[in-house]
Chain A
Amino acid sequence: DVKVTQSSRYLVKRTGEKVFLECVQDMDHENMFWYRQDPGLGLRLIYFSYDVKMKEKGDIPEGYSVSREKKERFSLILESASTNQTSMYLCASRGDTYEQYFGPGTRLTVT
């Protein structure tokens, strides 16, 4: 079974803090993704990576950056957290097929 793990289930941060969300997959997948999920808006793609050190912007990259130094790990960084970044963050990975496997999510609250 593919396993995608995220470092925290719940996180509370203050406005202006730098926030790191970590995601690890154990299936040697090439592709990894970060989404945010908000009520009524579905899942929106923030960034994705199709190889180590490669990254592509998704639909809503503003205010975020990513890092992929190792194949199994994909980090999402909020350089200066703001209240409008309060959301559920979902990481996913994908191998040779087009099926994406999702982690349990990190519910981030920025106060």
Chain B
Amino acid sequence: AQSVSQHNHHVILSEAASLELGCNYSYGGTVNLFWYVQYPGQHLQLLLKYFSGDPLVKGIKGFEAEFIKSKFSFNLRKPSVQWSDTAEYFCAVTANQAGTALIFGKGTTLSVSS
């Protein structure tokens, strides 16, 4: 069975600091990888996704993630966070086959102070 592990439960940063949120998954086959974000009081939104090709993917709001197949990792990065990035971030994975569902990590809460 697939599983997703997010290393940090709560991250606290000052504005302009760099961000890296860790995500590892366990699955032996081909996967599709996602990062979702949930701002306070809002519903889940897709931040970025990886299906194939260039392992460095760029998403909205200056976020990027790198897929490292050998490490089963898909870490999220942003060079300089803003107060408005305060949110909960979820890493998710699905096997690249029909009839499967997204499996989520437990989430990382990011708090950015101005």
Contact = CB atoms under 8 A, between A and B. Distances in A.
Contacts of A103: 43
Looking at A56, A98, A100, A103, the one whose CB has the most chain B CB atoms below 10 A away is A98
A40 B94 contact: no
Interface of B: 6, 9, 32, 34, 36, 43-44, 46, 49, 51, 90, 92, 94, 96, 98-99, 101-107
B99 A56 contact: yes
Given A56-B99, A98-B51, A103-B43, A43 B104 contact: yes
Interface residues of A, number: 24
A44 B101 CA distance: 11
Contacts, number: 48
Given A48-B101, A98-B51, A99-B34, A42 B96 contact: no
B43 A102 contact: yes
A99 B103 contact: no
B44 A90 contact: yes
A43 B90 contact: yes
Interface string A42-62: 111100101000001011000
Contact of B98 (A42, A50, A92): A50
Looking at B9, B34, B106, the one whose CB has the most chain A CB atoms below 10 A away is B106
A40 B9 contact: yes
Interface string A92-111: 10000111101111000000
Contacts of B49: 98-99
